[in-house]
A = this chain, B = another copy of it.
Amino acid sequence: MRTKQEYLDSLVKKHDNLYLDGQIISRDHESLKAAANVIGTTFDLAQDPALAKITTAKSHISGETVNRFTHIHQTPDDLHRKQDMTRMYCQKVSQCIGRCMGVDAMNAINCVSYEADRANKGQTKYHKNFLKWLERVQKEDLVGACAQTDVKGHRMKRPAEQDDPDQYLRVVEKNDKGIVVRGCKVHITFASVADEILVLPTRSLTKDEGDWAVAFAVEADHPDIKQVLSPHNLRPRGKDFKRGFDWGFVDSYVIFEDAFVPWERVFLCGETQHGGICALLFALFHRHSYSGCKPAVGDMLVGLATLAAEVNGIEKTPHVREKIAELITITELGYAAGFTASAKGEPKVYIPGVGKMDYGPGACIPDSIYANVGRCITGEAVFKEQQILCEIAGGMPATFPHEGDFLNPETSELLKKYVNRSDAMSVEEQIKFWMLFFDYTNSGASGAIAYGAMHGGGSPIMEQIAIYSQYDLEKRKDIVKTLAGMDVTSGTPGDHGV
């Protein structure tokens, strides 16, 4: 496994294909420092023996110890550890740890490539290619990003119906050596500081949409790929009021300009049914990841609210306590849903119209209903949580003076006199606290944090669709029919609860 420094060193050697506000930039550009810092943490802490149980795993390919962010989950216990690893990392860096998209895509492709080969009766070698690619990823401890969301053009039209067929990424050429792809994937978080980008479909596909049913891996600095960046960073700080951790993240438009991908990096190409399942499965694994990160964000929100209440001297007010209890409730319901999804994990997937069936080479897939209800509640709560913070903090973070004003002798003492609200904490500590509070509620990054927390891994409406379409409604209808004294003509026994 690599060290953080090895990772940082490798970044600067990559081909410059990053664009920011009209400039081409290298990967050690100031605007990417925080994002690289975040990913770097996943190397640092994986070295810590105390955390090894959750941060590392034994590869099912090589039997070697690997970073869990490159591991294929074999058991419910693996899923429990992935959830707990994610919560731990996100607590350390404050928000998104950035390597989940990669591991979630790997787990989805692991199943899909296997099943496509099986359906193709050995005509394809997707799964073998994938395992070979994965072995290298595990060995070199590479960082994967996942490019799923297409630009989509006209939302009410399917991929094949678009005026411009490139609105969904597609294969424009196939030859002996590989395929050529064109299109643009958007909102691809951490892609500019990743090593590899896993590309997969964004939606279910009809039989005539084979060109769009494609999954593959490319180098993040592939010469025919351009990344146009939106970095989301916190306000820079000097040394006097330094943060404990400088978090930040970065999104990319990843544009494929007829990029060539050799066959050994192609894991699906033309199998439309499995393309759709791939989209669903990545979403499922990723929603499960949210049962780790959202509780960690919740932990921070609970901490911010509790400390704000204490600094403001209102920590004993009943309705402040209720609001904090509300934050905890969302946080721990999100965790409990993920925990239950892990415990009920098995090598099966729900196929719309068919039901739950065996899928993949035996790797463990979290329960979809619980993964979805967990992601749904935490996604829906994003703005409500911000409202609670705003209510408890009052206007303080919105107009808090800049760091420089606390250092300027003409204003420093005056400001310290007037921002001081608590005997129990030094005013310098209070200043650091409010600055952090500002970072996560009023900075230029806070809007993007909320939008990511709402839409990342699928907006709540997407989870609702998954929940409605995958739930055993027949069983519930039968319960009612039986109680009503009606005939129960349907009656497939359900598989959730009892």
Q: Which of B156, B441, B467, B498 contacts A87 (CB 8 A)?
A: B498
A473: interface (CB < 8 Å)? yes
Contact assessment for B164 and A483 in the assembled complex, using a CB-CB cutoff below 8 Å: no
Question: Which of A368-419 touch B at CB < 8 Å?
Answer: 369-370, 373-374, 376-377, 382-384, 386-387, 390-391, 394-395, 397-405, 407-408, 410-411, 414-415, 417-419
A45: interface (CB < 8 Å)? no
Q: Which of B230, B304, B377, B432 contacts A402 (CB 8 A)?
A: B230
Name A400's closest neighbour in chain B (CB-CB): B230
Contact assessment for A336 and B325 in the assembled complex, using a CB-CB cutoff below 8 Å: no
How many angstroms between the C-alpha atoms of A184 and B414 in the bound complex? 9
Contact assessment for A483 and B300 in the assembled complex, using a CB-CB cutoff below 8 Å: yes
Contact assessment for A336 and B153 in the assembled complex, using a CB-CB cutoff below 8 Å: no
**Contact A306:B476 (CB < 8 A) given known A154-B313, A244-B483, A322-B464:** yes
A59: interface (CB < 8 Å)? no
A314: interface (CB < 8 Å)? yes
Contact assessment for A405 and B19 in the assembled complex, using a CB-CB cutoff below 8 Å: yes
When distances are taken between beta carbons in the complex, the residues of chain B under 8 Å from A467 are: 325, 328-329
Q: Which of B167, B446, B484 contacts A435 (CB 8 A)?
A: B484
Stretch at the interface among A65-73, A125-133, A265-273, A453-461: A453-461
Q: Which of B20, B319, B451 contacts A398 (CB 8 A)?
A: B451
When distances are taken between beta carbons in the complex, the residues of chain B under 8 Å from A497 are: 84, 87, 295, 299, 332, 335
A240 vs chain B, min Cβ distance (A) = 10
How many angstroms between the C-alpha atoms of A393 and B84 in the bound complex? 32
Contact assessment for A405 and B22 in the assembled complex, using a CB-CB cutoff below 8 Å: yes
How many angstroms between the C-alpha atoms of A325 and B307 in the bound complex? 28
Contact assessment for A448 and B399 in the assembled complex, using a CB-CB cutoff below 8 Å: yes
Contact assessment for B476 and A302 in the assembled complex, using a CB-CB cutoff below 8 Å: yes
Q: Which 3 A-B pairs have the closest CB atoms?
A: A22-B404, A442-B447, A303-B480
Beyond A391-B459, A442-B444: 4 further Cβ-contacts under 8 Å? Answer: A84-B498, A184-B418, A230-B401, A447-B447
